[in-house]
Amino acid sequence: MSEVRAVAKQPPDADAVGLVPTGPADMRSMFDAHAVVVARTVRALTCGQGPQEDLVQEVFAVAFARRDRFDGTRPLDAWLRGIAVNLVRSFRRREGRRKRLWRRSGPTRAPVTADNPESALEASELERALWTAVEALPDPLRETFALRVVEQRSLKDCADMLGVSVKSVSRRAIEAERRVRAALEAP
């Protein structure tokens, strides 16, 4: 009976505790194991725009700096995705401030830039329309849509990552899907 209790007391992601980096080699292992998932999450949260690679790297830098805060009570990838959500929120706030400053101090329109013009030309009309619709969503709906619909995470995972209730995630996901569908169906 005591063995059952000992097992039950282990955090759900006990193996992941060993993946939290204590040095450069461990950092590389954690990056190798989770970079694709974090990159996919960042891409979904940023609607495929912005400094995605920088944000992914920053997720791992923050994870390394705050590794003592990981307690193993939830999966490591959920912790990393939570960091990604917070970093993208910060990025969006900074971008909003930058755009407001630009409008006040510079030309009436920000210069158009393209990181990779070939990729922009190859993007389908539907994909552009989808990302435009997702981009137009308020932050809470956009974050929920990205995690729930694009990343196909469970309601509980989304709730943990966003720091809200499962009911809130469900409500937000339904509203986000309704708005995106309406935007895509509009002429």
3-state helix, strand, coil in the chain (%, to 5): 75, 0, 25
> What's the one-letter identity of residue 145?
F
CATH for 115-187, among 3.40.190.150, 3.90.1170.10, 3.20.20.80, 1.10.10.10?
1.10.10.10
Reported for 129-133, long-range contacts at CB under 8 A and 24+ positions apart, including other chains, are 129/183, 129/184, 130/180, 130/184, 131/47, 131/48, 131/49, 132/183, 133/179, 133/180, 133/183, 133/184
Topology of the domain covering 1-113: Rna Polymerase Sigma Factor; Chain: A (1.10.1740)
For the chain, give the mean pLDDT: 74
CA distance 14 to 76: 9
At 16-55, the pLDDT tens digits run 444 566 666 777 788 888 888 888 888 888 877 778 788 8
At 78-99, the pLDDT tens digits run 889 889 988 888 888 877 766 6
pLDDT category of residue 106 using cuts at 50, 70 and 90 = very low
pTM: 0.51
At 166-186, the pLDDT tens digits run 999 999 999 998 998 898 888
What tokens appear for 167 in the block? 């009911």
* CATH 1.10.1740.10 domain residues, the chain: 1-113
* CATH 1.10.10.10 domain residues, the chain: 115-187
User: Average pLDDT for residues 125-153, to the nearest whole number?
Assistant: 84
Q: What is the DSSP letter of 82?
A: H
pLDDT category of residue 115 using cuts at 50, 70 and 90 = low
